[in-house]
Structure 1
Amino acid sequence: ADDVLILVQVRSVLFHEIIRALIRAGVPTPGADRLAVTTHIGVLDMMALGDVLSNPADDLQLAALLRSPLFDVSEDELLAVAQPRGDKRLWRPIQGSDIPAVKAAYEQLYGWRNRLDFERPFNFYADVLYAGGGLRQMRGRFGSEIDDVMAEFLDLALSHEQSPQPSLLGFLAELRSREVTIKRELAEGGAGVRVMTVHGAKGLEAPIVILADAASTERGRDRRSVYLRAEPPLFVHASSAATHAPATTGFKDEADGDQLREYWRKLYVAMTRAEDELYVTGYLTKQGKVDGSWYEAIEQGLGPLSESLTDADGNTAALVYPRDRPAPARLKPVEVPADFGGMALDFKPLPERKPRKVLRPSSVEAPSDPDRTLGTRLEQGLDPVTARLAGTALHALLQHLAKVAPAERPAVAARALPQLLPEAPEQHQVLQTKALSILSRPELAPLFAEASRAEVPFLATALHKGETVTIAGRIDRIVSTPEGVLLVDFKSDADPVMEPARVKPGYLTQLGLYALVAKQLFPGQRIEAAILWTGLESLLKLPDAALAEAARGFTIR
């Protein structure tokens, strides 16, 4: 496959169909040399995922997502679950479907909805593509070019996080308003059949070159409507031949002549890319003619000197130039010497793979329960899933409403909660009241001021009981002032305490590890840690000694 180079004049439908056919046939190919990222089908699938997780009522995007490589639900399976469903949203029938592919898709989407971080699209999509295996599934349908597309997609997500108010919905809106194209370097071999434009192949060669659209001409491609002259200074606009005046017709003829000369120069470039074999083919235009095309010129020049091959019906199937050519020489067998001079190859066994142990500060005391403990009086009586979602929604409100003017917060919260917690509309007013009350307290104002940051993730390598572990966590709030750094974690216990001695050991370990990591991030500064009890709307600072004792046994490397 590395020996083949397929050339086209322009990136038309044929260009993309050739790549698609190579992928379907299992022929290695690096894909296109130029890719439109924001309109690529793989990126559209990623955007559909964001739309569905933000709004499960979007039936069209949900159907498109199910047919994407992420889930690969067949047309028949999608039809079976979607029709007839009456006035129900598509989300409901897939929720109760017993079709294996549809059931698996619902479980995956439900899991992603529960873990969705509304501020950081990069973290979410990186998890979908890598930890969730999405990139591997897309590569099976789109080929290796999807690697470059998704890499650029994640770069765009990371850039969006530098904006004043990053969010998943904001990222999707930004993508739909932009046109991003990447140029890929296909000059190196080893990736399979290269498909390129003739212009992009300048300077390259390959043993086998195929001119895939040699029957096409330049006629009708040039949409030029502006003609410039330096002497004398002249600007002419004519959108078509009919709009030209007699005095300007020569300008169009001159431009058409330049275009035609460039057309034939590109034929020279295309033919000289072949080191050994050149295949000339193409598809007929609507007129069914090859007049004035590369194909006609090559056929007229080489046809009389070529051998005509016919098919079973006696029709000409191909012309092979030259007619008189030597038969391929037989390969001589290579004798492999049996004696290697006494040198034996001794391959040592690969070392045993040691999986990395990951500890999360919030679950060191109870590794089997990685989720936050959410047991507020507001959430009593709710099922565990809704309780977790309600806690996540409250975190999101505190995070985002802090950036909104106080007078506008009620309206913003009312619009946000249907997106944050569509499963429990009866909790919207309760959560809104709680968030606005916390944000309005003067003693808590420094936690949400400009010197603070929300939802700060970290990854650190540490020694724990003689074992190397990775500590992965996310600090709810960091407040940096000249006096030091304050780490805050939100807790929603049903029975909060205001005495540090009565704080649960698991909470002390969590905040102690936060403080241990923060000392590496903010060297030389005083580090404090506190719990914000959302039920009491009060802040409890923890003693340094208790934090140090809780983190005993951990050493940051």
Structure 2
Amino acid sequence: IVAAAGDLGSDGAAWHDRIREGLATAGARPHAFPTGDGLRLEAGAWPETGTDTAQLAPGTETILDPLFAAHAPAHGSAPKTLNPSDLGGATTLPGEGGLDEAAAKRRGRQVHRLLEILPPLPTADRPAAAHTLLCHGPDAASEEEIALLLAEAEKVLSRPTLAHLFTAEALAEVPVSAALDALGGRRIHGVIDRLILAPDRVLAVDFKTNAVLPDRPEDTPEGLLRQMGAYAHALAAIYPDRKVETALLWTRAATLMPLPHALVTAALMRAGQLDAGGGAT
């Protein structure tokens, strides 16, 4: 259907005039339309359009269940996923001074970054890489700070007893998520610094940059034990046929402290009543 309105002019240049000429050339015939006379181009046999409307058969009224007139019940929000690092409890020992909490966390991120990126690099290339990693961004450090952070990372990477944590087979920064019975079915989601997978065992290691270190696993700050307990139980759900072990790598001393499974499990159980916002007691 081609239609136009208004003054088309008399020079024959309007698009409506050109289409009319084309229709006439193609064999269109005059036709009376409800809106006025025009041209119609048709081909083939077109059936006549019926005007009678068939009567609908009488039917039975459908009565809906009252359920369909009621509003849907409010949907309760799912409990917040918990961070293993935020299950309550202290994360440092008495005497930890020098840096406030924000600065301590910043320093921890800086050391973690170096231990994530530097291991496969040749020793001679690490200073330049450390400078590139730490001279920009929200955790940017001064040249003096970078030198101290690099020294701490190099102390860890050069320790023969820790070499197995930084091989190509060791997994770095591994996300883990699981619903834990020990937390009443609540789900945790965290990132394990180093994960070692063997056919019969799993070792999860977390880096800690604390200045004051415990002499034995039982003296480890409660919050760190709860964190490792959450990792242990999550990995047990993921690898039910393997023995799960956890350990803390104290970067200041470049020492690895294995944590007894019973110790971290007991700490996880002490996480207490978790509120809807993820807080712990």
TM-score by length of 2: 0.69
- In the alignment, does 2:208 pair up with 1:486? no
What secondary structure is seen at the aligned counterpart in 2 of 1:551? helix
1:455 deviation in Å? 0.8
Correspondence for 2:61 among 323, 326, 341: 341
Query: What residue identity is the alignment partner of 1:412?
Result: A
Show structure 2 runs of 5+ residues with no match: 36-48, 272-281
Partners of 2:141 and 2:58 lie apart in 1 by: 76
Quote how far apart the aligned CAs of 1:443 are: 1.3
Partner of 1:221: none
State which structure, 1 or 2, has the greater radius of gyration over its C-alpha atoms: 2
From 363, 368, 385, the counterpart of 2:86: 363
**Conserved in 2, the CA contact under 8 Å of 1:532 and 1:540?**
yes
Residue 376 of structure 1 contacts residue 492 of structure 1 at CA under 8 Å; is this kept in 2?
Answer: no
Distance 1:410-1:325 versus aligned 2 partners, 3 A rule = farther
1:441 Cα offset (Å):
1.0
Counterpart of 2:168, as a letter, is: E
Distance (whole Å) between structure 2 residues aligned to residue 311 and residue 382 of structure 1 = 79
Distance 2:60 2:98 in 1: 77
Instruction: Flag the 1:325–1:527 CA change in 2: closer, same or farther, 3 A.
Output: farther
Partner of 2:188: 471
Offset, 1:498: 2.7
Which residue does 1:255 correspond to in 2?
A: none
Could you tell me how far apart the structure 1 residues matched to 2:98 and 2:72 are?
53
Equivalent residue for 1:296? none
What is residue 162 of structure 2 aligned with on the other side?
Answer: 444
Alignment of 1:409 with 2:140, yes or no, is no
Superposed CA deviations along residues 216-251 of structure 1, whole A, max 9, x for unmatched, are xxxxxxxxxxxxxxxxxxxxxxxxxxxxxxxxxxxx
CA RMSD for the aligned pairs? Answer: 4.0
Identity %: 28
How do 1:99-498 and structure 2 match up within 5 A?
309=4, 311=6, 314=9, 316=14, 318=16, 319=19, 324=31, 326-327=33-34, 341=61, 343-346=63-66, 347=68, 349-357=71-79, 358-365=81-88, 380-381=98-99, 384=102, 387-419=104-136, 423-426=140-143, 427-463=145-181, 467-481=184-198, 484-498=201-215
User: Quick one: structure 1 residues 394 and 327, their matched pair in 2 at CA, closer, same or farther if it must change by over 3 Å?
Assistant: farther
Rounded to whole Å, the distance in 1 between the matches of 2:212 and 2:58 is: 80
Residues 356 and 470, structure 1, Cα contact 8 Å, conserved in 2: no
Shift in alpha-carbon separation, 1:474–1:376, aligned structure 2, 3 A: farther
Contact 2:82–2:186 (Cα < 8 Å) also in 1:
yes
Amino acid at match of 2:76: K
Tell me if the contact between 1:393 and 1:421 (Cα under 8 Å) persists in the aligned partners.
Answer: no
1:521 aligned partner: 238
- Measured at CA, do residues 458 and 483 of structure 1 come closer, stay the same or move farther in structure 2, by a change above 3 Å? closer
| Pairwise CA distance, 1:551 | 3.1
Distance in 2 between the 1:521 and 1:536 partners? Answer: 32
> C-alpha distance in 2, partners of 1:433/1:470?
37
CA distance in 2: counterparts of 1:411 and 1:533, whole angstroms? 24
How far has the Cα of 1:337 moved from its partner? 11
In 2 relative to 1, CA 493–553 (structure 1 residues): closer, same or farther, beyond 3 Å? closer
Q: TM-score, normalised by structure 1?
A: 0.37
Provide the residue aligned with 2:229 in structure 1. 512
CA shift, 1:548, in A, is: 2.4
How far off is 1:332 after superposition?
A: 11
Q: Which runs of 4+ in 1 moved over 6 A?
A: 320-323, 335-339
Q: Distance in 2 between matches of 1:400 and 1:497?
A: 27
Q: CA deviation at 1:433?
A: 1.6
Structure-1 separation of matches of 2:249 and 2:149: 16
Return closer, same or farther for 1:332/1:484 CA change in 2, 3 Å cut-off.
same
**8 Å contact from structure 1 (residues 365, 506) kept in 2:** yes
Q: 1:442 to 1:338 in 2, by over 3 A?
A: farther
How far off is 1:395 after superposition?
0.8
Runs of 5+ consecutive residues of structure 1 not aligned to the other structure? 1-276, 278-305
Q: Distance in 1 between matches of 2:208 and 2:119?
A: 18
Q: Indicate if the aligned counterparts of 1:516 and 1:551 stay in contact, CA closer than 8 A.
A: no
Does structure 2 conserve the Cα–Cα contact (< 8 Å) formed by 1:311 and 1:317? no
